[in-house]
Copies of this chain bind each other. A is one copy, B any other.
C-alpha cells in the first residue's frame, strides 16, 4: 500500500525546505518567485494533495461542516441540504451529514463524536427535545454553530427560520376569506417551536376574525403522513363537521386528502384542505394542494452563509433571520358547501 505523496517529497523535488512549500501553499509568507514556481511545478508534477488530517491536527480545525438533520427522508430537507451544500462548496467547505432520526440521544451522540473531527462549524436542525443548547453552551469556545429551521429549546445563538406564524396566519385568512367558519387544524408535535408557531398563526387569524375556536378541532399530529391521516379521520367524523382543515405540513395534508377520499368526501367541494411546505408533489395531488411555500433552499443557503461569516470571525450579536413564506393557491380550497 503506497502512501500518498507528502510535503517532504515536494520539498526535496523543488530543493527547498518543507516550510517553504507550506508557505507557498498557504500564501503565508513571501517566497521568491523563482522558488515559488519550482514548488508549484513539483506539486503539479507529483499530483500532491496536502493531508487534511495532518493540517487539521496542527491547526486544530478542518474544513468540514457538520450538519445535523432529523431525517433526510423527510422531503422538506433535501432542498435545505442542497442550499447548504452549494454555499459550503463555494467556500471550500465539505459537508458531513448526520441523521439524528429525531432522537435527541442519537443527536447528542453525533454531536459529541463529530467534535473530535474538529469541524469548522456546525449547522443543526434540532431534533425533537434537542439538548443542543446545553451541549454547545457548555463549551463557550469552539467552532460556531447555527441553528436552522427550528428554534431549539434554550438556544440563543444564531438561528435562521422561516415565517411560520405569518404563513399559518395567511393560510387561515385565506380559508376565512372563502367563507369558512368551522376551521380545524392538524398541528405538528407541540414541543416543536415551529409547530406551535404555526398553531399560533392559525389562532390569531381566527380570533382577529372573531371566529370561535373549538378545542376539538385542534388535533396534534407528528408531521408525518399517517398522523395527518388519523387526525383527519377523527375530524371528519365530528358533528358538526369542520368545513376546512389546515394541516401544518404537506405530508399531513396528504394524509388528510387520503382520509377525505376514504370517507367519501370530495375535496374541495365538501372539505377544504390547506397544507404547509409546498413540497414538490403538492402541485400534483388530486386536487392540487393549496399550501404555504417555505423557502427550503434559501434556508440552507443563508444559514451556511451566516456560518461561513462566523467561521472567519464575525463577532456580531447573534442573529435571528426569518425568511418569508408565501401562500400558493391551488385547488384544494373552495367556499363551504352549506
Residues on A close to B: CB < 8 A?
1-4, 49-54, 56-57, 60, 62, 64, 71-73, 75, 77-79, 81-82, 85, 89, 94-99, 112-118, 141-142, 254, 257-258, 279-281, 284-287
Given A57-B51, A141-B2, A258-B284: A85 and B64 interface contact (C-beta under 8 Å):
no
Alpha-carbon gap, A227 to B275, bound state (A): 27
Determine if B75 and A280 form an interchain contact, defined as CB atoms under 8 angstroms apart: yes
Which residues of chain B have C-beta atoms less than 8 A from A79's C-beta? 73
Residue in contact with A53 in the complex, picked from B1, B2, B96, B117, CB distance below 8 Å: B117
Which residues of chain B have C-beta atoms less than 8 A from A279's C-beta? 281
Determine if A57 and B57 form an interchain contact, defined as CB atoms under 8 angstroms apart: yes
Which residues of chain B have C-beta atoms less than 8 A from A2's C-beta? 141
Residue in contact with A52 in the complex, picked from B3, B85, B117, B254, CB distance below 8 Å: B117
Residue in contact with A98 in the complex, picked from B50, B95, B281, CB distance below 8 Å: B95
Beta-carbon nearest neighbor of A113 in chain B = B49
Beta-carbon nearest neighbor of A114 in chain B = B94
Least Cβ–Cβ distance between A92 and chain B, in angstroms: 9
Alpha-carbon gap, A3 to B116, bound state (A): 11
Alpha-carbon gap, A78 to B113, bound state (A): 23
Alpha-carbon gap, A56 to B60, bound state (A): 14
Beta-carbon nearest neighbor of A85 in chain B = B99
Beta-carbon nearest neighbor of A258 in chain B = B284
Determine if A116 and B81 form an interchain contact, defined as CB atoms under 8 angstroms apart: no
Determine if A118 and B53 form an interchain contact, defined as CB atoms under 8 angstroms apart: yes
Determine if B284 and A257 form an interchain contact, defined as CB atoms under 8 angstroms apart: yes
Determine if B78 and A82 form an interchain contact, defined as CB atoms under 8 angstroms apart: no
Which residues of chain B have C-beta atoms less than 8 A from A115's C-beta? 4, 49
